[in-house]
Amino acid sequence: MSYPDLLDEAWARHTAAKESNAPTVISAFAGCGGSSLGYSIAGFRELLAIDWDDNAVATFRLNFPGIPVFYGDIADLTVDEVFKTTGLSPGQLDVLDGSPPCQGFSLAGARDLNDDRNQLFREYVRLLEGLRPKAFILENVSGMVKGKMKLVFAETMRQLKAAGYRVSARLMNAMYFSVPQFRERMIFIGVRDDLKVKPSHPKVQSRPVTVFQAIGNLPPGEPGAHSEAVIKAWHAAEPYEDLRKASFRRPTRQGHYVGSFHSARLDPNRPSRTQIKTHLHWRWDVPRQLTTLEAAILGSFPPQFKWVGSKTQAKERIGNSVPPLFMKALAEHVRAHVLGAAS
């Protein structure tokens, strides 16, 4: 199946009615709905999404009109409110999803998860302890297991296990799950202790999808309105190379391109670079930055997904999202090998 056909199929599964006995999920830090779309494609029924960002919530509501949204600070959401909104009781929820940032860890400090700057992770654990879902999926940056940050990883594992869960964590790359993007993330999967099921992760499911396979069917468009120095930097850049690096490697009389080091000319024969700053990626065949549609498709969002606000806002949402097809693979694995084994 071609990649465009795969996205069309994914959207059809998202919009199809869910089974009455479909597994349930609550998404904390839902953003615009990257994870939620993955769960929906996998056949889950989402009962509640939680986020505080205006643009993210507006985008989520546009694409998930039937899902209740708690629009505000997660610290203000009580467990009782969740039960009232969803009709659940403790232990009934199948999966609690989330990507809480852990920004308060100092490389030189104590790296204490009780640091006020790590409030969001603490709130996730609070909901985990109160809701008692059968399982959870938590996504975070790959840097948690690199260098001194390994202490952060160890403390994260300790608190998740203390909440009453068996936990497995693994570095995974979305490009092996039909996402045309090199995106490495730490994935925690937890299973409630009383279920006696060992947590596990899905195995590699696909060969990497290239940029050309993903968006090569779209018209290349016209060159962007950029300075001569930028255009020359684009021409000088090798596939997958930062324009700034290429500019300094091959200087011109018009000067250097002094933009971000994330500003890269994509290679059509490889997956995209990680899309944290999607507005800085450039096409390989025409000197222009990616459109919102192109960036979304490389993030495994179907073309039918709608975006709210400016191009910059849309691309920020894409860059901050868990790729839907990646989450689909995780959700399907948990449905089959955790929830299925526990039933």
Q: What is the pLDDT of residue 250?
A: 61
Q: What is the pLDDT of residue 41?
A: 98
Query: Dihedrals φ, ψ of 69, to 5°?
Result: -125, 130
Which among 201, 189, 203, 193 has a CA at the least distance from the CA of 157?
A: 189
Q: What is the pLDDT of residue 106?
A: 39
Contact 185, 141 (CB under 8 A): yes
Compute how many other C-beta atoms are within 10 angstroms of the C-beta atom of residue 149.
17
The single residue of 102, 144, 191, 297 carrying the catalytic annotation is 102
Residue ranges in the chain modelled with pLDDT below 70:
101-118, 142-149, 250-262, 275-279, 343
Convert the pLDDT of each residue in 296-332 to its tens digit. Answer: 999 999 999 999 999 999 999 998 899 999 999 999 9
Domains located in the chain, CATH noted: 3-208+322-342 (3.40.50.150), 211-319 (no CATH)
Contact 334, 189 (CB under 8 A): yes
Convert the pLDDT of each residue in 199-231 to its tens digit. Answer: 999 999 999 999 999 999 999 999 988 888 888
Is 102 designated active site? yes
Q: What is the pLDDT of residue 332?
A: 98
Q: Is the pTM higher than 0.85?
A: yes
Q: What is the pLDDT of residue 120?
A: 84
